[in-house]
Structure 1
Protein backbone atom coordinates (compact mmCIF):
# COMPACT_ATOMS: atom_id res chain seq x y z
CA UNK A 1 0.00 0.00 0.00
CA UNK A 2 1.27 3.47 -0.89
CA UNK A 3 2.01 5.47 2.32
CA UNK A 4 -0.30 8.42 2.90
CA UNK A 5 1.92 11.55 3.00
CA UNK A 6 -0.56 13.19 5.42
CA UNK A 7 -0.03 10.56 8.12
CA UNK A 8 3.05 12.28 9.56
CA UNK A 9 1.13 15.57 9.97
CA UNK A 10 -1.95 13.91 11.46
CA UNK A 11 0.15 12.66 14.35
CA UNK A 12 0.64 16.29 15.46
CA UNK A 13 -2.90 17.65 15.24
CA UNK A 14 -6.54 16.77 15.78
CA UNK A 15 -7.52 19.07 12.91
CA UNK A 16 -9.33 17.47 9.99
CA UNK A 17 -6.62 17.56 7.32
CA UNK A 18 -5.92 15.53 4.19
CA UNK A 19 -9.31 13.81 4.23
CA UNK A 20 -9.05 12.49 0.69
CA UNK A 21 -11.98 11.85 -1.60
CA UNK A 22 -14.02 9.11 -3.18
CA UNK A 23 -15.30 10.36 -6.50
CA UNK A 24 -16.81 13.77 -5.81
CA UNK A 25 -17.28 13.15 -2.09
CA UNK A 26 -15.42 12.15 1.06
CA UNK A 27 -14.36 8.56 1.68
CA UNK A 28 -16.94 6.69 3.74
CA UNK A 29 -14.58 6.50 6.73
CA UNK A 30 -14.11 10.27 6.83
CA UNK A 31 -17.82 10.94 6.31
CA UNK A 32 -18.70 8.71 9.27
CA UNK A 33 -16.00 10.37 11.39
CA UNK A 34 -17.50 13.77 10.54
CA UNK A 35 -21.00 12.63 11.51
CA UNK A 36 -19.68 11.24 14.81
CA UNK A 37 -17.77 14.47 15.57
CA UNK A 38 -20.86 16.54 14.81
CA UNK A 39 -22.93 14.38 17.13
CA UNK A 40 -20.32 14.74 19.89
CA UNK A 41 -20.40 18.52 19.52
CA UNK A 42 -24.20 18.58 19.74
CA UNK A 43 -24.11 16.34 22.80
CA UNK A 44 -21.59 18.66 24.46
CA UNK A 45 -23.87 21.65 23.92
CA UNK A 46 -27.12 19.98 25.01
CA UNK A 47 -26.02 17.63 27.81
CA UNK A 48 -27.02 19.23 31.16
CA UNK A 49 -24.44 19.80 33.86
CA UNK A 50 -24.65 17.41 36.81
CA UNK A 51 -24.59 20.11 39.47
CA UNK A 52 -24.83 17.65 42.36
CA UNK A 53 -21.78 15.68 41.26
CA UNK A 54 -19.77 18.80 40.48
CA UNK A 55 -20.52 20.53 43.79
CA UNK A 56 -19.58 17.34 45.63
CA UNK A 57 -16.21 17.18 43.82
CA UNK A 58 -15.53 20.88 44.40
CA UNK A 59 -16.51 20.52 48.05
CA UNK A 60 -13.78 17.91 48.46
CA UNK A 61 -11.13 20.52 47.59
CA UNK A 62 -11.48 22.19 50.99
CA UNK A 63 -12.48 25.62 49.65
CA UNK A 64 -15.74 25.81 51.54
CA UNK A 65 -19.22 24.61 50.70
CA UNK A 66 -19.84 25.41 47.00
CA UNK A 67 -22.55 27.93 46.19
CA UNK A 68 -24.98 27.57 43.29
CA UNK A 69 -26.48 30.12 40.94
CA UNK A 70 -28.29 30.35 37.61
CA UNK A 71 -28.61 32.79 34.78
CA UNK A 72 -31.83 34.44 33.69
CA UNK A 73 -32.19 31.85 30.90
CA UNK A 74 -34.75 29.36 32.27
CA UNK A 75 -33.76 26.43 30.02
CA UNK A 76 -31.18 25.33 27.46
CA UNK A 77 -33.22 26.28 24.42
CA UNK A 78 -33.64 29.84 25.72
CA UNK A 79 -29.96 29.98 26.66
CA UNK A 80 -28.94 29.15 23.08
CA UNK A 81 -31.39 31.61 21.51
CA UNK A 82 -30.85 34.45 24.00
CA UNK A 83 -27.17 34.95 24.88
CA UNK A 84 -28.11 38.15 26.71
CA UNK A 85 -30.09 36.19 29.31
CA UNK A 86 -27.12 33.92 29.94
CA UNK A 87 -25.14 37.01 30.99
CA UNK A 88 -27.69 38.07 33.61
CA UNK A 89 -28.38 36.39 36.97
CA UNK A 90 -31.73 34.82 37.71
CA UNK A 91 -33.84 37.08 39.97
CA UNK A 92 -33.46 34.55 42.79
CA UNK A 93 -29.64 34.55 42.70
CA UNK A 94 -28.28 35.95 45.95
CA UNK A 95 -24.72 35.23 47.05
CA UNK A 96 -23.18 36.22 50.40
CA UNK A 97 -20.74 39.14 50.36
CA UNK A 98 -17.46 37.62 51.56
CA UNK A 99 -14.84 40.16 50.47
CA UNK A 100 -12.20 37.59 49.46
CA UNK A 101 -9.22 38.20 47.18
CA UNK A 102 -10.40 35.67 44.62
CA UNK A 103 -13.62 34.02 43.53
CA UNK A 104 -13.80 31.00 41.23
CA UNK A 105 -17.03 30.44 39.31
CA UNK A 106 -17.56 27.23 37.33
CA UNK A 107 -20.07 27.61 34.50
CA UNK A 108 -21.55 25.01 32.15
CA UNK A 109 -21.17 27.34 29.16
CA UNK A 110 -21.39 25.52 25.84
CA UNK A 111 -19.87 22.26 27.03
CA UNK A 112 -20.96 20.82 30.34
CA UNK A 113 -18.95 17.74 29.38
CA UNK A 114 -15.76 19.79 29.51
CA UNK A 115 -16.67 21.11 32.95
CA UNK A 116 -17.47 17.63 34.26
CA UNK A 117 -14.25 16.18 32.85
CA UNK A 118 -11.79 18.94 33.74
CA UNK A 119 -13.41 21.44 36.12
CA UNK A 120 -12.46 19.98 39.52
CA UNK A 121 -8.92 19.12 38.45
CA UNK A 122 -8.35 22.60 37.05
CA UNK A 123 -9.76 24.34 40.14
CA UNK A 124 -7.48 22.24 42.33
CA UNK A 125 -4.44 23.27 40.25
CA UNK A 126 -5.45 26.95 40.29
CA UNK A 127 -5.82 27.09 44.06
CA UNK A 128 -2.49 25.32 44.52
CA UNK A 129 -0.83 27.93 42.29
CA UNK A 130 -2.24 30.86 44.30
CA UNK A 131 -1.10 30.44 47.90
CA UNK A 132 -1.51 33.41 50.18
CA UNK A 133 -4.78 34.69 48.68
CA UNK A 134 -8.12 34.45 50.41
CA UNK A 135 -10.64 32.47 48.36
CA UNK A 136 -14.42 32.58 48.37
CA UNK A 137 -16.21 29.22 48.14
CA UNK A 138 -16.55 28.15 44.49
CA UNK A 139 -19.78 29.00 42.68
CA UNK A 140 -21.44 26.62 40.20
CA UNK A 141 -23.80 28.28 37.72
CA UNK A 142 -25.96 26.85 34.96
CA UNK A 143 -27.13 28.28 31.61
CA UNK A 144 -24.27 30.70 32.16
CA UNK A 145 -22.13 32.88 29.91
CA UNK A 146 -18.90 34.62 30.85
CA UNK A 147 -20.35 38.00 31.81
CA UNK A 148 -22.52 36.39 34.50
CA UNK A 149 -19.28 36.26 36.48
CA UNK A 150 -19.31 40.05 36.76
CA UNK A 151 -22.60 39.92 38.65
CA UNK A 152 -21.58 37.01 40.85
CA UNK A 153 -18.16 38.50 41.58
CA UNK A 154 -19.75 41.79 42.63
CA UNK A 155 -22.22 39.99 44.89
CA UNK A 156 -19.37 38.03 46.52
CA UNK A 157 -17.31 41.20 46.90
CA UNK A 158 -14.17 39.56 45.52
CA UNK A 159 -11.26 41.54 44.08
CA UNK A 160 -10.79 39.17 41.14
CA UNK A 161 -13.12 36.60 39.65
CA UNK A 162 -12.10 33.60 37.55
CA UNK A 163 -14.80 32.09 35.36
CA UNK A 164 -14.08 28.47 34.43
CA UNK A 165 -16.40 27.68 31.52
CA UNK A 166 -17.01 25.02 28.89
CA UNK A 167 -15.91 26.37 25.53
CA UNK A 168 -17.85 26.16 22.28
CA UNK A 169 -17.23 22.66 20.86
CA UNK A 170 -15.90 22.14 17.36
CA UNK A 171 -15.62 19.14 15.06
CA UNK A 172 -12.27 18.18 16.58
CA UNK A 173 -12.75 19.15 20.23
CA UNK A 174 -15.85 18.91 22.43
CA UNK A 175 -14.33 19.03 25.92
CA UNK A 176 -12.24 22.20 26.11
CA UNK A 177 -12.29 24.59 29.07
CA UNK A 178 -11.57 28.30 29.12
CA UNK A 179 -10.82 30.57 32.08
CA UNK A 180 -11.74 34.27 32.02
CA UNK A 181 -10.17 36.63 34.54
CA UNK A 182 -11.83 39.92 35.49
CA UNK A 183 -10.32 42.26 38.07
CA UNK A 184 -12.80 44.28 40.14
CA UNK A 185 -15.80 42.53 38.56
CA UNK A 186 -19.04 44.44 38.20
CA UNK A 187 -21.89 44.50 35.68
CA UNK A 188 -21.01 46.35 32.52
CA UNK A 189 -17.42 45.14 32.20
CA UNK A 190 -16.50 44.59 28.55
CA UNK A 191 -14.61 41.67 27.03
CA UNK A 192 -11.64 44.03 26.58
CA UNK A 193 -11.42 44.13 30.38
CA UNK A 194 -10.88 40.37 30.70
CA UNK A 195 -8.04 37.94 30.10
CA UNK A 196 -8.63 34.47 28.73
CA UNK A 197 -6.71 31.20 28.95
CA UNK A 198 -8.26 28.64 26.60
CA UNK A 199 -7.89 25.10 25.25
CA UNK A 200 -7.45 23.54 28.69
CA UNK A 201 -8.00 19.81 28.10
CA UNK A 202 -5.17 17.44 28.89
CA UNK A 203 -3.60 15.52 27.26
CA UNK A 204 -4.27 17.25 23.92
CA UNK A 205 -4.50 20.85 25.14
CA UNK A 206 -3.06 22.75 28.07
CA UNK A 207 -2.47 20.73 31.22
CA UNK A 208 -4.10 21.89 34.45
CA UNK A 209 -0.69 22.82 35.88
CA UNK A 210 0.36 24.83 32.82
CA UNK A 211 -2.94 26.69 32.74
CA UNK A 212 -2.75 27.32 36.48
CA UNK A 213 0.73 28.87 36.17
CA UNK A 214 -0.50 31.26 33.48
CA UNK A 215 -3.62 32.12 35.49
CA UNK A 216 -1.60 32.72 38.66
CA UNK A 217 0.72 35.08 36.77
CA UNK A 218 -2.28 36.96 35.37
CA UNK A 219 -3.90 37.25 38.81
CA UNK A 220 -0.64 38.58 40.25
CA UNK A 221 -0.30 40.99 37.32
CA UNK A 222 -3.88 42.21 37.70
CA UNK A 223 -3.29 42.92 41.40
CA UNK A 224 -0.15 44.90 40.57
CA UNK A 225 -1.71 46.74 37.66
CA UNK A 226 -5.08 47.26 39.31
CA UNK A 227 -6.84 46.09 36.16
CA UNK A 228 -7.28 43.17 33.79
CA UNK A 229 -7.81 43.01 30.04
CA UNK A 230 -5.84 44.33 27.10
CA UNK A 231 -3.30 46.12 29.31
CA UNK A 232 -2.36 42.88 31.09
CA UNK A 233 -0.17 40.35 29.26
CA UNK A 234 0.88 36.78 29.96
CA UNK A 235 4.61 36.93 30.68
CA UNK A 236 5.09 33.33 31.79
CA UNK A 237 6.98 32.42 28.60
CA UNK A 238 9.52 35.20 28.99
CA UNK A 239 12.84 34.75 30.73
CA UNK A 240 12.23 37.97 32.64
CA UNK A 241 9.02 39.92 32.79
CA UNK A 242 9.00 43.68 32.34
CA UNK A 243 7.63 45.51 35.37
CA UNK A 244 3.96 46.35 35.24
CA UNK A 245 2.95 49.99 35.34
CA UNK A 246 -0.54 51.42 35.76
Structure 2
Protein backbone atom coordinates (compact mmCIF):
# COMPACT_ATOMS: atom_id res chain seq x y z
CA UNK A 1 0.00 0.00 0.00
CA UNK A 2 3.03 2.27 0.09
CA UNK A 3 2.22 3.47 -3.43
CA UNK A 4 -0.78 5.41 -2.03
CA UNK A 5 1.31 7.32 0.53
CA UNK A 6 2.95 10.66 -0.27
CA UNK A 7 6.11 10.98 1.83
CA UNK A 8 6.92 14.29 3.50
CA UNK A 9 10.24 15.83 2.37
CA UNK A 10 11.11 16.52 6.04
CA UNK A 11 10.96 12.82 6.89
CA UNK A 12 14.71 12.67 7.52
CA UNK A 13 14.25 14.97 10.52
CA UNK A 14 12.14 12.39 12.36
CA UNK A 15 15.24 10.58 13.62
CA UNK A 16 16.03 13.63 15.79
CA UNK A 17 12.70 13.89 17.65
CA UNK A 18 9.74 11.95 18.98
CA UNK A 19 7.45 14.78 17.90
CA UNK A 20 4.88 13.91 15.26
CA UNK A 21 6.37 15.58 12.19
CA UNK A 22 6.64 14.57 8.54
CA UNK A 23 4.04 11.79 8.84
CA UNK A 24 3.24 11.76 5.15
CA UNK A 25 -0.19 11.79 3.54
CA UNK A 26 -2.65 9.28 2.14
CA UNK A 27 -5.23 11.20 0.16
CA UNK A 28 -6.64 13.87 2.51
CA UNK A 29 -5.57 12.09 5.68
CA UNK A 30 -2.49 10.77 7.44
CA UNK A 31 -1.45 7.18 6.72
CA UNK A 32 -2.96 4.42 8.85
CA UNK A 33 0.25 3.57 10.72
CA UNK A 34 0.85 7.02 12.29
CA UNK A 35 -2.89 7.36 12.96
CA UNK A 36 -2.90 4.13 14.96
CA UNK A 37 0.31 5.19 16.72
CA UNK A 38 -1.38 8.44 17.75
CA UNK A 39 -4.40 6.56 19.14
CA UNK A 40 -2.08 4.26 21.10
CA UNK A 41 -0.15 7.22 22.54
CA UNK A 42 -3.41 8.91 23.53
CA UNK A 43 -4.58 5.74 25.30
CA UNK A 44 -1.23 5.43 27.12
CA UNK A 45 -1.49 9.06 28.29
CA UNK A 46 -5.00 8.46 29.62
CA UNK A 47 -3.87 5.27 31.36
CA UNK A 48 -0.98 7.14 32.96
CA UNK A 49 -3.39 9.66 34.53
CA UNK A 50 -5.85 7.08 35.85
CA UNK A 51 -3.54 4.18 36.74
CA UNK A 52 -3.15 3.83 40.55
CA UNK A 53 0.32 3.70 42.04
CA UNK A 54 1.35 0.26 43.33
CA UNK A 55 2.78 1.61 46.58
CA UNK A 56 3.51 -1.85 48.02
CA UNK A 57 5.68 -2.78 45.05
CA UNK A 58 7.50 0.55 45.26
CA UNK A 59 8.21 0.09 48.98
CA UNK A 60 9.61 -3.37 48.22
CA UNK A 61 11.92 -1.94 45.55
CA UNK A 62 13.14 0.79 47.89
CA UNK A 63 13.80 -1.53 50.82
CA UNK A 64 15.55 -4.05 48.55
CA UNK A 65 17.97 -1.22 47.65
CA UNK A 66 18.54 -0.27 51.30
CA UNK A 67 16.20 2.73 51.54
CA UNK A 68 13.91 3.16 54.53
CA UNK A 69 10.45 4.20 53.37
CA UNK A 70 7.19 5.63 54.69
CA UNK A 71 3.74 5.51 53.13
CA UNK A 72 1.43 8.54 53.11
CA UNK A 73 -1.77 9.61 51.37
CA UNK A 74 -3.17 13.01 50.56
CA UNK A 75 -6.58 14.22 51.68
CA UNK A 76 -8.02 13.09 48.33
CA UNK A 77 -9.82 9.83 49.04
CA UNK A 78 -9.45 8.32 45.57
CA UNK A 79 -8.25 9.04 42.05
CA UNK A 80 -11.53 10.54 40.88
CA UNK A 81 -11.58 13.05 43.75
CA UNK A 82 -7.87 13.77 43.25
CA UNK A 83 -8.47 14.79 39.64
CA UNK A 84 -11.49 16.95 40.53
CA UNK A 85 -10.01 18.55 43.67
CA UNK A 86 -6.35 19.57 43.24
CA UNK A 87 -6.48 21.34 46.61
CA UNK A 88 -6.97 18.02 48.44
CA UNK A 89 -3.87 16.61 46.76
CA UNK A 90 -1.79 19.36 48.38
CA UNK A 91 -2.60 18.38 51.97
CA UNK A 92 -2.00 15.19 53.95
CA UNK A 93 -4.82 13.01 55.18
CA UNK A 94 -5.36 13.13 58.94
CA UNK A 95 -3.97 9.59 59.32
CA UNK A 96 -0.80 10.41 57.38
CA UNK A 97 -0.26 13.64 59.30
CA UNK A 98 -0.47 11.75 62.59
CA UNK A 99 1.84 9.01 61.31
CA UNK A 100 4.54 11.51 60.28
CA UNK A 101 4.23 13.35 63.60
CA UNK A 102 5.13 10.14 65.43
CA UNK A 103 8.35 9.56 63.44
CA UNK A 104 11.71 10.60 64.88
CA UNK A 105 13.51 11.60 61.68
CA UNK A 106 16.17 13.71 63.50
CA UNK A 107 15.71 16.74 61.22
CA UNK A 108 17.24 15.34 57.99
CA UNK A 109 19.02 17.56 55.51
CA UNK A 110 16.78 16.27 52.74
CA UNK A 111 13.72 14.10 52.32
CA UNK A 112 12.80 12.53 48.99
CA UNK A 113 9.12 12.08 48.23
CA UNK A 114 8.04 9.73 45.43
CA UNK A 115 4.57 10.81 44.32
CA UNK A 116 2.17 9.51 41.70
CA UNK A 117 1.11 12.97 40.51
CA UNK A 118 -0.42 12.73 37.05
CA UNK A 119 1.55 9.65 36.01
CA UNK A 120 1.96 6.72 38.35
CA UNK A 121 3.88 5.07 35.47
CA UNK A 122 6.63 7.66 35.89
CA UNK A 123 6.89 7.31 39.66
CA UNK A 124 7.03 3.52 39.48
CA UNK A 125 9.53 3.43 36.62
CA UNK A 126 11.91 6.35 37.09
CA UNK A 127 12.14 7.23 40.81
CA UNK A 128 14.20 4.33 42.18
CA UNK A 129 16.83 4.40 39.36
CA UNK A 130 17.17 8.15 39.92
CA UNK A 131 17.71 7.68 43.66
CA UNK A 132 20.33 5.01 42.95
CA UNK A 133 22.16 7.40 40.60
CA UNK A 134 22.03 10.14 43.25
CA UNK A 135 22.87 8.15 46.40
CA UNK A 136 26.69 7.92 45.95
CA UNK A 137 26.85 11.72 45.76
CA UNK A 138 24.97 12.31 49.02
CA UNK A 139 27.48 10.85 51.45
CA UNK A 140 27.76 14.19 53.28
CA UNK A 141 24.00 14.66 53.57
CA UNK A 142 21.70 13.36 56.29
CA UNK A 143 19.01 11.77 54.12
CA UNK A 144 15.66 11.01 55.71
CA UNK A 145 13.39 8.08 54.89
CA UNK A 146 11.90 8.04 51.40
CA UNK A 147 8.22 8.96 51.51
CA UNK A 148 5.85 7.31 49.02
CA UNK A 149 2.82 9.57 48.53
CA UNK A 150 -0.41 8.66 46.76
CA UNK A 151 -2.91 11.09 45.22
CA UNK A 152 -0.24 13.77 45.59
CA UNK A 153 0.34 17.20 44.11
CA UNK A 154 3.69 18.99 44.24
CA UNK A 155 2.82 21.11 47.29
CA UNK A 156 2.18 17.98 49.39
CA UNK A 157 5.96 17.79 49.75
CA UNK A 158 5.91 21.04 51.76
CA UNK A 159 3.75 19.55 54.50
CA UNK A 160 5.75 16.30 54.48
CA UNK A 161 9.06 18.14 54.78
CA UNK A 162 7.70 20.36 57.54
CA UNK A 163 6.39 17.37 59.49
CA UNK A 164 9.78 15.64 59.31
CA UNK A 165 11.76 18.80 60.08
CA UNK A 166 13.70 18.55 56.82
CA UNK A 167 15.84 21.37 55.52
CA UNK A 168 15.05 20.39 51.91
CA UNK A 169 12.38 18.31 50.24
CA UNK A 170 12.78 16.87 46.74
CA UNK A 171 9.47 15.82 45.20
CA UNK A 172 9.88 13.12 42.54
CA UNK A 173 6.49 13.24 40.87
CA UNK A 174 4.84 11.93 37.73
CA UNK A 175 4.39 14.76 35.25
CA UNK A 176 1.35 15.42 33.11
CA UNK A 177 1.72 12.84 30.30
CA UNK A 178 2.30 13.93 26.74
CA UNK A 179 1.59 11.98 23.58
CA UNK A 180 5.21 10.80 23.42
CA UNK A 181 6.02 10.76 27.14
CA UNK A 182 3.50 9.03 29.42
CA UNK A 183 6.23 8.19 31.95
CA UNK A 184 8.10 11.46 32.49
CA UNK A 185 9.24 12.29 36.03
CA UNK A 186 9.63 15.78 37.45
CA UNK A 187 11.80 16.86 40.42
CA UNK A 188 10.73 19.81 42.58
CA UNK A 189 13.28 21.04 45.12
CA UNK A 190 12.20 23.31 48.00
CA UNK A 191 14.30 24.87 50.76
CA UNK A 192 12.80 24.89 54.27
CA UNK A 193 9.54 23.27 53.15
CA UNK A 194 6.42 24.36 54.96
CA UNK A 195 2.75 24.82 54.19
CA UNK A 196 2.23 27.93 52.09
CA UNK A 197 5.37 27.75 49.96
CA UNK A 198 4.73 28.93 46.39
CA UNK A 199 5.98 27.54 43.09
CA UNK A 200 8.29 30.56 42.82
CA UNK A 201 10.17 29.14 45.83
CA UNK A 202 11.00 25.83 44.13
CA UNK A 203 13.35 24.64 41.42
CA UNK A 204 12.14 22.14 38.84
CA UNK A 205 13.99 19.53 36.80
CA UNK A 206 11.67 17.93 34.26
CA UNK A 207 11.46 15.07 31.75
CA UNK A 208 13.55 12.60 33.73
CA UNK A 209 13.46 9.32 31.81
CA UNK A 210 15.87 7.38 29.59
CA UNK A 211 14.42 9.00 26.43
CA UNK A 212 14.63 12.49 27.97
CA UNK A 213 16.97 13.64 30.75
CA UNK A 214 19.04 10.61 31.75
CA UNK A 215 19.24 9.58 35.41
CA UNK A 216 22.91 10.51 35.74
CA UNK A 217 22.33 13.95 34.23
CA UNK A 218 19.27 14.56 36.41
CA UNK A 219 21.26 13.53 39.50
CA UNK A 220 24.05 15.94 38.49
CA UNK A 221 21.58 18.83 38.12
CA UNK A 222 19.87 18.07 41.42
CA UNK A 223 23.16 17.79 43.31
CA UNK A 224 24.30 21.12 41.83
CA UNK A 225 21.08 22.82 42.91
CA UNK A 226 21.26 21.25 46.36
CA UNK A 227 24.85 22.39 46.85
CA UNK A 228 24.10 25.95 45.78
CA UNK A 229 20.84 26.05 47.73
CA UNK A 230 22.59 24.98 50.91
CA UNK A 231 25.25 27.66 50.37
CA UNK A 232 22.74 30.44 49.61
CA UNK A 233 19.93 29.32 51.89
CA UNK A 234 17.22 29.46 49.22
CA UNK A 235 15.56 27.79 46.26
CA UNK A 236 13.30 29.14 43.54
CA UNK A 237 13.64 31.97 41.08
CA UNK A 238 16.73 33.33 42.83
CA UNK A 239 18.62 30.04 42.36
CA UNK A 240 19.84 29.54 38.80
CA UNK A 241 20.78 26.20 37.29
CA UNK A 242 24.30 26.76 35.94
CA UNK A 243 25.16 23.06 35.98
CA UNK A 244 25.29 22.61 32.19
CA UNK A 245 28.95 23.73 31.69
CA UNK A 246 30.09 21.45 34.53
CA UNK A 247 28.09 18.58 33.06
CA UNK A 248 29.59 19.13 29.61
CA UNK A 249 33.10 19.15 31.12
CA UNK A 250 32.36 15.92 32.98
CA UNK A 251 31.06 14.29 29.78
CA UNK A 252 34.20 15.35 27.91
CA UNK A 253 36.38 13.92 30.67
Shorter-chain TM range is over 0.9
| 1:231 alignment partner in structure 2 | 238
Per-residue CA distance 1:12-43 (angstroms, 9 max, x = gap): 11011122333333222222111111000011
| 1:101 alignment partner in structure 2 | 109
Report matched runs for 1:119-130 at 5 Å: 119-130=127-138
State the TM-score, normalizing by the size of structure 2: 0.90
Shift of 1:97: 4.4
Per-residue CA distance 1:60-100 (angstroms, 9 max, x = gap): 23232x10000111010111111111111111113124201
Residue 126 of structure 2: which of 106, 112, 118 is its match? 118
Contact 2:229 2:235 in 1 (8 A): yes
Residue 61 of structure 2: which of 53, 57, 62 is its match? 57
Higher helix share: 2
Per-residue CA distance 1:73-132 (angstroms, 9 max, x = gap): 101011111111111111111312420111000001111111111111111112222221
Residue 173 of structure 1: which of 181, 186, 193 is its match? 181
Secondary structure in structure 2 of the residue aligned to 1:141: strand
Q: Using the alignment, how far apart are the partners of 2:7 and 2:151 within structure 1?
A: 47
Count of residue correspondences: 238
Secondary structure in structure 2 of the residue aligned to 1:11: helix
Secondary structure in structure 1 of the residue aligned to 2:95: coil
Contact 1:102 1:133 in 2 (8 A): yes
Contact 2:8 2:22 in 1 (8 A): no
Report matched runs for 1:1-246 at 5 Å: 4-64=8-68, 66-93=69-96, 94-95=99-100, 96-98=103-105, 99-202=107-210, 204-238=211-245
State the TM-score, normalizing by the size of structure 1: 0.92
